[in-house]
Amino acid sequence: MIDPTATTIDTSAAKRRRMPLSLVVGLTMISFWLVMSIVGPHVAPYSAGKVVDLDAFGPLSTKHPLGTDYLGRDMLSRILYGTRYTIGLALAATAL
């Protein structure tokens, strides 16, 4: 005999779907770099092209957290300034 009570599907479980972990990680990374491209040049300790140390390839220090390059420029400042150009170029290439 057939059961007279109808079974219903719980739709609340379907509505509470979680976002995939890869989506969350990807959006977090994109958001971080977008914020760095906007805020980075304002928080950089030095100008991107300014020679701040005569010690080429200077090591990590409190004054230069990522060291210096072959001309004595601060690497952290160069990365923070470079994000603006990198993100801008990527957005332009995507728009094409």
Strand, coil or helix: 76: helix
User: For the chain, how many helices (H) and strands (E)?
Assistant: 3, 0
pLDDT tens per residue across span 45-86: 999 999 998 888 999 999 999 999 999 999 999 999 999 999
Report the alpha-carbon distance of residue 61 to residue 34 in Å, rounded: 27
pTM over 0.75: no
Range of lowest pLDDT (8-17, 21-30, 36-45, 82-91): 8-17
Q: What pLDDT, on a 0 to 100 scale, did the predictor assign at position 25? A: 97
Q: How many CB atoms lie within 10 A of CB 93?
A: 8
